[in-house]
Chains A and B, each alone.
Chain A
């Protein structure tokens, strides 16, 4: 059974810093890995999706990497802003013999960017 762990659980940094959020997963048989953002009381916003054959994806100030063999992914946020404050969730789309299964989520990293 796939398990996803995110470190740290919470992070508070001053505005302008570059930061790294970590995600690890136990089963390397994955279709893809997604990073989501969730604001308090809101739904999920997909930030980046990395296919299993890819090493990284970039969108603006965000860069996500994937090392499938070691079961790790990182989300790099450059020049952080107060508007980046949210919970960031890592989710792995695994597959079994019958095809792709649903997403397995980590517990998230609660990020606060201090103005």
Chain B
């Protein structure tokens, strides 16, 4: 099993640009989660999906953030327009029966 796959691993962009982060969950897992990690706030849940349906997006910081899961094997997190305060590590995780498995993360730097 390849585990949770995220791309890109690193992203550097200028303020105002659109950023798209991608995640491929573990096959057979029916829940997918997006988290953000910053020094100040630690790890925070942004949004999660069950069976491709968004369940709770209360953690999404602003309307500039959006997430989609068009099918069971792919999800995107989009930031438009990006701002320097969005700089963080973004983790995707998927869950089958009990445990969440995390991807390696995408380190986003917005200059």
Contact = CB atoms under 8 A, between A and B. Distances in A.
A43 interface: yes
B99 A46 contact: yes
Interface of B: 31, 33, 35, 42-45, 48, 50, 55-56, 59, 91, 93, 95, 98-105
A51 B98 CA distance: 9
The A contact surface, by secondary structure, is strand
A107 interface: yes
Contact of A102 (B48, B98, B103): B48
The B contact surface, by secondary structure, is strand
Contacts of A108: 42
Nearest to B55: A98
Interface in A84-105: 89, 91, 93, 98-105
A43 B56 contact: no
A100 B99 CA distance: 11
B100 A93 contact: yes
A86 to B, nearest CB: 15
Contacts of A22: none
